[in-house]
Amino acid sequence: MKSVFLFLMTILLVSCSEQNSEKTKEELTRPNILWIVAEDLSPVIPSFGDSTIVTPNLSRLAKEGVCYDRMFSPSGVCSPSRAAIATGMYPTHIGANHMRTGPWFADVPQSFIDNYAKGAMPPGIIPYEAIPQPEVKMMSEYLRGQGYYCTNNAKQDYQFKKSLMAWDECSTKAHWRNREEGQPFFSIFNMEVTHESRIWAKAKDSLWVSEDLDVPVPPYLPTTDSSLMDIRRMYSNIKEMDQRVGQLLKELEDDGLLEKTIVFWYTDHGGPLPRQKRLTYDSGLRVPMIIRFPNGERAGSREGRLLSFIDFAPTVLSLVGIEPPEYIDGKAFLGEFKEDSERDYIHAAADRFDETAADPIRTVRDPRYKLIRYYDTHKPMFYPVGYREQMPIMRELHRLKNKGALTAEQALWFRVTKPEIELFDTELDPHELVNLAGKEEFEEIQKRLTSELDSWLASFEDLNMLPEIELMAKLWPDGIQPVTSAPVLENTENGVALASETEGASIGYKIIRGQDTTNSWRLYREPISLDEEERLMAVAHRIGYKPSEAVSE
């Protein structure tokens, strides 16, 4: 009798185990995804080797997750980086690498646009949107198409206005808590407290660190009192950001969702200090990233492979069981559609920054060596950007330069011309101060990286190598933004079908019953059935085009 009981219990346990296995497999194909995004920050936290301050919440994430040591942005500034993240495309491939192309606010008065163009863009350039190839979509559209609730809180800045179909909610109130119960979500929270501007904007705020905190100073920056205060402010802002990370993790835990959610924490490009942001040195491109997987998967591990922001979109799609579209430049590094081969190189570019003249730079890096190619070598290495000039530590550099008191390392940034090539050993020279280009012992490395850079540039049309006036004319003929064709509604036996004549346009719809409508445009995928008391409103939008007028049945 006892043996029969044990036999039946064994069958029951195996059956339960199989059911739980199937359930787990199903849940893992539709996990929630949370992105916590800090701004303007290099890997200067304890989990990445900098013990200047304590960051308990990021350290917790690192202990429970995976630290990625070689994650890079394809641009050293936010808007092109965000374009790459949103689309999985190189900013230069979609003409989105100039920083920036326009003010992205709703209903901007023409007078504001005119003044913006005069003050923040070179002569002859008006605010315009980059227009990616017609097949390019924002990543969140694919997730919404599979039933995900997608929110962005709240920064956009993609070099084009967001697709009307990109988000269920995009505002400072956007949150996964606003979704229908049980609906999987993809939510982004952007934390601006570490942004470059907060170095000077928060100068009078009390510090989250000691006023005499001993801080490391890169050799390319001065060690004067005002400079040290800016660096302390950077670390103070990191402490403040860390607290917000903890708040979000607690909200996940309070909702019982922490073990059902893949949490990404990363920064949008390198650090906020001079000779960091905007450049293609590692100080501008290399970022820290931590991913926490449910149920302790890979907890406390590190990953050293080369990764780029263009890999984010295909990776998130792969994690939720969506095969990434073929046009995407990036490669999935996790999930069902993870690519077998790893990257040998990452690539990056810099072009125009705000009101400065275009100054094209193209870069390639392997796990150790970095090659930077400068195209306008007659131009100075340094360009004053009005935004950055507000920072006290930047003013200190100018003061020391005018006194002839810069160190050799600091003076490198202020060279009056540029070399054609810079080559760095990032392992022995992490601040990229010793140019190895032209040295006999590095000839083969230089040839290999040059060949790789040429190969990358030949793989697509680098739109940002066009003079910007020509690029703008190509995208906006006669300076006029193209308009998406309005959707055509057709009654079929399966419901109301929608189509737009604009190639690549996404179509959104709302179902109206009385005065009630949904808050956001639903993503159209198939004919829509309506009750007698319902009517349909629809809109079409191709990225970079002006949205169509809304039409209704």
**Residue from 67, 78, 150, 170 carrying the catalytic annotation:** 78
DSSP characters over 198-264 = HHHHTTTSPPSS-TT------TTS--SHHHHHHHHHHHHHHHHHHHHHHHHHHHHHHTT-GGGEEEE
SS3 336: coil
Side chain identity at 497, as an amino acid letter? A
Instruction: Pick left, alpha or beta for residue 478 (phi over 0 → left; psi -120 to 50 → alpha; otherwise beta).
Output: left
Count the neighbouring beta carbons within 10 Å of the beta carbon of residue 170: 19
Question: What is the 3-class SS of 126-144, one letter each residue?
Answer: CCCCCCCCCCCCCHHHHHH
Q: Which helix (H) or strand (E) holds 399?
A: helix 392-403
Cα–Cα distances (Å) from 48 to 133, 163, 210, 298, 351, in that order, read 37, 35, 22, 17, 29
- Spatial distance between the Cα atoms of 26 and 550, rounded to a whole number of angstroms: 38
Residues 445/369, Cβ–Cβ less than 8 Å: yes
What is the bridge-based pairing of β-strands 495-499 and 421-425?
Answer: unpaired
Cα–Cα nearest to 169, from 461, 540, 520, 530: 520
Distance CA 410, CA 371 (A): 20
- Measure the CA–CA gap between 26 and 99, rounded to whole angstroms: 42
Q: Give the contacts of 530 (CB within 8 A, at least 6 positions apart).
A: 495, 496, 511, 536, 553
Closest C-alpha to 380, from 364, 409, 408, 357: 357
Backbone phi, psi, residue 540, to 5°: -125, 150
Q: What gap in Å lies between CA 7 and CA 270, rounded to an integer?
A: 60
Please list the alpha-helical segments (H only) found in 30-87.
Answer: 56-64, 78-87
Residue 97 and residue 80 in contact, taking contact as beta carbons nearer than 8 Å: yes
Q: How many helices (H) and strands (E) does the chain have?
A: 13, 19
Measured between alpha carbons, how far is 513 from 531 in angstroms, rounded to an integer? Answer: 9
* Catalytic site includes residue 67: no
3-state secondary structure of 447: helix
DSSP structure class, residue 34: E
Among 145, 149, 169, 143, residue whose Cα is nearest residue 525:
145
Which residues contact residue 23 at a Cβ distance below 8 angstroms, ignoring those fewer than 6 apart?
Answer: none
Positions annotated as catalytic residues are 78
